[in-house]
Amino acid sequence: MYGITILIILLVKQDIVRSVRLVELRVPTHEREGGSALLGCQYDLEGDTLYAVKWYKDGKEFFKYAPRIQTPMKHFKLPGVHVNESRSSTTVVALENLTRESAGLYACEVSGEAPSFMTARSEKYITVHLIPDTGPKLTGLKDKYFLDDLVVSNCTTAPSTPEAHLKWLINDRPVLKRFLRGPWYRVSADRPDAIETTLQLRFTVTPSDFVDGAMKLTCQSTIAPLYQQETTSTHYIDLPLSLETPSPVSSPSTDHAIKTNWSILTVLLSVLFLRI
């Protein structure tokens, strides 16, 4: 009886010492369509021998690394999951050509060898966004503006998921809410899950809107944390003709002085000719 007790204690102690532990799971929470992602799984076998590292998406296995079999690395086809084996290893899985189907819950599972097959598992969710390739588009603007002119311009982003957050600035200062209309959202004709966003700027031009005769209008588009671009358009004050510099006009006093000088010159020439 005493010998059996000692054996049980030793077996329990062995399991405690040889317990697989996940040190860190590196899975990006946000990625863009068409991009790539590196999934990292750092583990500590704590004296045990590695049996296998497995990766799952939404509960379905798509990658396995088992060092004791003839072909240690193997991946399985899943919608939206494209593994690059040349960049993958026992601790890293490289995904490429991400699509909206790539989004989901990714789990890393590490297990030790027989007889205990001690296992550790951790998981994280990846969201995949459709990101515009360019900055927002500005429409409705003129090259020059008079004072008291009405400025009306739409800032529109290309289709995205989720919708973009838009922000207007005048000379690098945020525009007050009372000068904004929208935002408005429109479902893309090409992608029913993608949204085009529009925010309108509407205000009356005042002298304070110009710095050194120029007015800079900027629209920023943001999809955190992957995307931020802006489009800027510069416009100049258009002065009325009455404020332009007048061309010089001869005054009566100037005409009189010219006539007097011409008379003096005539007399001097006559005197010279008489002496000759």
CA distances from 171 to 20, 149, 182, 235, 251 (A): 58, 17, 21, 11, 45
What is the pLDDT tens value at each position of the chain, 276 positions in all?
Answer: 444 443 343 444 444 445 788 899 999 999 999 999 999 999 998 888 899 999 999 999 999 999 988 899 999 999 999 999 999 999 999 999 999 999 999 999 999 888 778 899 999 999 999 999 999 999 999 999 999 999 999 999 999 999 999 999 999 999 999 999 999 999 999 899 999 999 999 999 999 999 999 999 999 999 999 999 999 999 998 876 544 444 444 344 434 333 334 333 333 333 333 333
pTM (predicted TM-score): 0.73
Question: What local confidence, expressed as pLDDT, does residue 18 receive?
Answer: 55
Q: Which residue pairs from 184-192 have beta carbons closer than 8 angstroms and sit at least 24 positions apart in sequence?
A: 188/159, 190/159, 191/130, 191/159, 191/161
Domains of the chain: 20-129 (2.60.40.10), 137-239 (2.60.40.10)
